Amino acid sequence: MEQNFDLPEIHTPENLVYTKTKVLTDNVMHYCPGCGHGTVHRLIAEVIDEMGIQDQVIGVAPVGCSVLAYNYFDIDMQEAAHGRAPALATGIKRVFPEKFVFTYQGDGDLAAIGTAETIHACNRGENITIIFINNGIYGMTGGQMAPTTLPGMPTSTSPYGRDVKMMGNPLKITELVAMLPGTYFVTRQAVHTPALVRKTKKAIRMAFENQKLNRGVSFVEIVSNCNSGWKLTPVQAIKWLEENMLPFYPLGDLKVNGEMVSK
């Protein structure tokens, strides 16, 4: 049925203060309404655009909700097997040391099946950027328990809540990689408020700028929400994130310019 909303024409040149960055394609994103992936994609694309490196960047997509990330970035990209993105990025950066290489990974990809690849790429100090989306759940496969699922948090494979005695504790892999000598910049950010979006963009910019220094891995965790997996509306999910995820995964820099940030 055709709907006629009779909206006033607002897409006029004088109203155009914010447009889609050219580093994003015109493809419609498949992400759920309220999901943080779209925001983070945009921030990465803006940074690539502003740095003028669209022709020098190679991205690596993971397996998970962002498996199709390569459909949205107008850059050369490779699709990795589950968890192997840091190994691909190592291969790319070693043969193209002058190019900018980043991985985009979720918590299951980076902190469960890909733990070895993550730790060792970080420990070798590969000169790459790792963008890590932590929403505490497996989104794509339908809301199963992730390595970062909070204690007591229900998922489809921990339906009575994560019992840490049986299922283990959540893995704070960002704190772990910050301890490794090969990481140069390690930070934890979020994108559920405009102020946090701006801070995250600064962090992503720094994570890409650092590649010019050749000093090691820049690792940006972004604590995000998964409305579908958490079975909450977007607004409820953001409230839940603030009340539950952020106390366990506090925001802020863990390591800057190769030095641990004292808290």
Partner 1 sequence: MKELRLMKGNEAIAEAAIRAGADAYFGYPITPQSEVIEYLMAEKPHERTGMVVLQAESEVAAINMVYGAAACGKRAMTSSSSPGISLKQEGISYIAGAELPCLILNVVRGGPGLGTIQPSQSDYFQATKGGGHGDYRLIVLAPASVQEMYDFVKLSFDLAFKYRNPVMILSDGVIGQMMEKVEIGEQYPRLTNEQIDELYPWATTGKKPGKDRRIITSLELDPGRQEQHNLKLQAKYKKMQEEEVRYEALNCEDAEYLLVAFGSSARICQKAMDLGRAKGLKIGLLRPITLFPFPSKILHELATKVKGMLTVEMNAGQMVEDVRLAVCGKVKVEHYGRFGGMIPSPAEVLHALETKIIGG
Report d(CA 105, CA 85) in Å as an integer. 8
Report d(CA 64, CA 14) in Å as an integer. 40
The only residue of 38, 91, 151, 154 in contact with partner 1, by rule CB under 8 A: 91
Is 90 a binding residue for partner 1 by CB under 8 A? The answer is yes
C-alpha distance from residue 213 to each of 61, 210, 256, 257 (Å): 24, 5, 13, 10
Number of residues that bind partner 1 (CB under 8 A): 35
Minimum separation from the CB atom of position 95 to partner 1 (A): 5
Minimum separation from the CB atom of position 221 to partner 1 (A): 21
**Backbone angles phi and psi of 127, in degrees to 5:** -85, 65
Q: What SS3 class is residue 177?
A: helix
> Residue 12 class from Cβ within 10 Å (0-12 exposed, 13-18 middle, 19+ buried)?
exposed
Q: By CB under 8 A, what part of segment 92-151 binds partner 1?
A: 92, 94-96, 99, 116-117, 119-120
The only residue of 74, 175, 209, 242 in contact with partner 1, by rule CB under 8 A: 74
Site string for partner 1, 4-43 (x = CB under 8 A): ---------------------x------------------
The only residue of 87, 110, 133, 173 in contact with partner 1, by rule CB under 8 A: 87
Report d(CA 178, CA 219) in Å as an integer. 9
* Piece of 89-97, 144-152, 181-189, 223-231 that binds partner 1 (CB under 8 A): 89-97
Q: What is the DSSP string of 128-175?
A: -EEEEEE-SEETTTTSEE-TTPPTT--BTTBTT---HHHH-PPP-HHH
Is 78 a binding residue for partner 1 by CB under 8 A? The answer is yes
Report d(CA 30, CA 72) in Å as an integer. 10
* Piece of 7-15, 69-77, 163-171, 204-212 that binds partner 1 (CB under 8 A): 69-77
Report d(CA 236, CA 23) in Å as an integer. 31
The alpha carbon dihedral of 132, 137, 139, 144 has a sign of positive
Is 190 a binding residue for partner 1 by CB under 8 A? The answer is no
Question: Nearest CA to 101 among 205, 211, 186?
Answer: 211
Is 70 a binding residue for partner 1 by CB under 8 A? The answer is yes
Minimum separation from the CB atom of position 25 to partner 1 (A): 8
Q: Which CB atom, from 61 or from 145, has the smaller least distance to partner 1? A: 61
* Piece of 7-15, 57-65, 157-165, 187-195 that binds partner 1 (CB under 8 A): 57-65
User: Under 8 Å CB-to-CB from 243, ≥6 apart: which residues?
Assistant: none
- Tally Cβ neighbours within 10 Å of residue 164: 13
Is 175 a binding residue for partner 1 by CB under 8 A? The answer is no
Minimum separation from the CB atom of position 177 to partner 1 (A): 14
Q: Which CB atom, from 116 or from 179, has the smaller least distance to partner 1? A: 116
Yes or no: say if 155 and 142 are a contact pair by the CB < 8 Å rule.
Answer: no
Binding stretches for partner 1 (CB under 8 A): 25, 54-58, 60-61, 67-68, 70, 73-81, 84, 87-92, 94-96, 99, 116-117, 119-120
